[in-house]
């Protein structure tokens, strides 16, 4: 059965195909019918808006803005907002769906959403970015809100963008700090959210290495992407005795020379000053393909989707991959990595620290309280370790990859919620 109204001829993007593959495998293991699968996968709502913005030079440009709400079965939709030239409806579908399974896996009471604007923020002034954000919110504000859909940062957005969202939304609906997460602390943000995704990657990695009788101490780590997620993961790993031997960003990569690893605080300062990891004093230049193929213990793709493809997966020499980015591994690459015995900690689990801390921020805002950073980090660890252990248990018991186990747990939880709310039982009735 196909979704009516969607042009079936519409070509699915690579990320949608990856999500199709992961979903179909897990749904098959769960024995879900075709109707049940269709219901669980079809986005609840997709919004596309024109975002007209006056540029600093007086000209007008109209950008395409999107917000896809994949599911609200377990709570308000939740997910980041991305500013990038590649933003498209297909990409938003896949990323919104990933959020549904991620929030279910770590068991926070949210559904899944993702939004974005197709633009190149590096070519926009701060004032243009502010007008763009405000106009986007003016077009989607009816569809978001503390109990509908709560945005957060993603690629090329940050606390400042969240502050503009809060201001624009609140000017229409009354002061609503819980309408967006990862705000500045002064506006109701929670301490530790800005670092939580990277910190969470480190926590999950530590738990995984412990389970394998190893430790972060001395582990040699390569990271693709040195923005919010990559840089904070690097900082956590360095603080726990790991060695960051190479990093790359959109401009290129660097490899530590000699036996000394890269010093993360110095590298963060270099990026602050120059805008890139490239040119870091004392390091050798490499490109992104070389980074993925470096001999190391842990590889962390923390940039964009499709980083690991069928052509690059065969070259990977790390023994563990931790998916900091969403959907960084295509279906074909995943098969190759599994056949080569490389452990892959999937995105749903590895990068869930951000949305878990967002959940803490949302509850903090609803209760009008303030959490100390230590409480955030303690609870973050307990949510992530619990999720990691549940995935490992199923993976070992049923001889599955960590990815299959994570999707299976998540889909089962959302299916159960849909069933309790009546949607899936309607499907069953019809099947009788």
Please state whether beta strands 343-345 and 243-249 pair in parallel, antiparallel, or not at all (unpaired). Answer: unpaired
Least separation, in Å, of the C-beta of 152 and ligand AKG?
3
User: Measured from the CB atom, is 104 or 400 closer to ligand NAI?
Assistant: 104
User: Measured from the CB atom, is 216 or 286 closer to ligand NAI?
Assistant: 286
Binding of residue 326 to ligand AKG (CB under 6 A): yes
Which ranges of 212-301 does DSSP label H, i.e. alpha helix? 228-239, 264-274, 288-292
Question: Segment near ligand AKG (CB under 6 A), from 48-56, 218-226, 253-261, 350-358?
Answer: 350-358
Binding of residue 354 to ligand NAI (CB under 6 A): yes
Binding of residue 405 to ligand NAI (CB under 6 A): no
Q: Following CA atoms 289, 294, 297, 299 in sequence, which dihedral angle do they give, to the nearest 10 degrees?
A: -10
Binding of residue 228 to ligand AKG (CB under 6 A): no
Residue 325 DSSP class: S
Binding of residue 189 to ligand NAI (CB under 6 A): no
Contacts of 68 (CB under 8 A, 6+ apart): 43, 45, 46, 47, 89, 92, 93, 95, 96, 113, 114, 115
Looking only at residues 143 through 162 of this chain, which bind ligand AKG when binding is defined by CB under 6 A?
152, 154
79 binds, among ligand AKG, ligand NAI, none (CB under 5 to 8 A by kind): ligand AKG
Question: Segment near ligand AKG (CB under 6 A), from 45-53, 164-172, 225-233, 352-360?
Answer: 352-360
Give Dmax over CA atoms of the chain in angstroms: 69
Among 79, 112, 227, 346, binds ligand AKG (CB under 6 A): 79
Pair 337, 316: CB distance under 8 Å: yes
Pair 415, 40: CB distance under 8 Å: yes
Please state whether beta strands 45-54 and 60-71 pair in parallel, antiparallel, or not at all (unpaired). Answer: antiparallel
Binding of residue 75 to ligand AKG (CB under 6 A): no
Binding of residue 224 to ligand NAI (CB under 6 A): yes
The catalytic residue among 48, 114, 183, 379 is: 114
Ramachandran area for residue 156 (φ above 0: left; ψ -120 to 50: alpha; else beta)? left
Q: In angstroms, rounded to a whole number, what is the distance separating the alpha carbons of residues 387 and 408?
A: 13
Least separation, in Å, of the C-beta of 252 and ligand AKG?
25
Is residue 78 part of an annotated ligand binding site? yes
Contacts of 376 (CB under 8 A, 6+ apart): 190, 191, 192, 193, 196, 357, 360
Residue 242 DSSP class: -
Among 23, 63, 136, 226, binds ligand NAI (CB under 6 A): 226
Q: Footprint of ligand NAI on this chain (CB under 6 A)?
A: 80, 153-156, 197, 224-230, 248-250, 288, 302-304, 324-326, 351, 354
Residues that bind ligand AKG (CB under 6 A): 78-80, 99, 102, 152, 154, 181, 326, 351, 354-355, 358
Residues placed in the known binding site for substrate: 78, 102, 358
């Amino acid at each position: 059965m196909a979704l009516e109204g969607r042009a079936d001829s519409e070509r699915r993007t690579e990320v949608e195909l990856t999500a199709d593959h992961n979903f179909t495998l897990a749904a098959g293991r769960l024995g879900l019918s075709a109707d049940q699968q269709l219901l669980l996968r079809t986005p609840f709502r997709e919004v596309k808006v024109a975002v007209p913005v006056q540029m600093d030079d007086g000209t007008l440009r109209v950008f395409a803005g999107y917000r896809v709400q994949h599911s609200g079965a377990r709570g308000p939709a939740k997910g980041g907002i991305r500013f990038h030239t590649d933003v498209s409806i297909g990409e938003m579908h896949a990323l919104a769906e990933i959020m549904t399974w991620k929030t279910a896996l770590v068991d926070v009471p949210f559904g899944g959403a993702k939004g974005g604007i197709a633009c190149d923020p590096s070519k926009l002034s701060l004032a243009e970015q502010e007008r763009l954000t405000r106009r986007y919110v003016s077009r989607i504000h009816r569809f978001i809100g503390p109990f509908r859909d709560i945005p957060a940062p993603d690629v090329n957005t940050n606390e400042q963008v969240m502050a503009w969202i809060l201001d624009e939304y609140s000017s229409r609906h009354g002061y609503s700090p819980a309408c967006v997460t990862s705000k500045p602390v002064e506006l109701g943000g929670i301490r530790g959210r800005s670092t939580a995704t990277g910190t969470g990657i480190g926590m999950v990695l530590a738990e995984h290495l412990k389970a394998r009788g190893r430790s972060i101490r001395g582990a040699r780590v390569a990271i693709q992407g040195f923005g919010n997620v990559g840089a904070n993961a690097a900082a956590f790993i360095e603080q726990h005795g790991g060695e960051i031997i190479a990093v790359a960003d959109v401009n290129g990569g660097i490899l530590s020379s000699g036996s000394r690893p890269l010093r993360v605080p110095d590298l963060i300062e270099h990026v602050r000053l120059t805008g890139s990891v490239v040119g870091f004093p004392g390091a050798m230049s490499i490109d992104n393909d070389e980074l993925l193929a470096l001999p190391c213990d842990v590889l962390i793709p923390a940039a964009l989707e499709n980083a690991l493809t069928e052509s690059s997966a065969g070259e990977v020499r790390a023994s563990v991959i931790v998916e900091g980015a969403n959907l960084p591994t295509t279906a074909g690459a995943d098969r190759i990595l599994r056949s080569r015995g490389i452990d892959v900690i999937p995105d749903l689990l590895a990068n869930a620290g951000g949305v878990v801390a967002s959940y803490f921020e949302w509850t903090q805002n609803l209760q009008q309280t303030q959490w100390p950073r230590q409480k955030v980090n303690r609870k973050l660890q307990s949510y992530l370790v619990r999720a990691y252990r549940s995935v490992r248990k199923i993976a070992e018991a049923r001889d599955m990859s960590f990815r299959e186990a994570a999707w299976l747990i998540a889909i089962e939880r959302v299916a159960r919620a849909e069933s309790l709310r009546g949607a899936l039982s309607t499907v069953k009735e019809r099947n009788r």
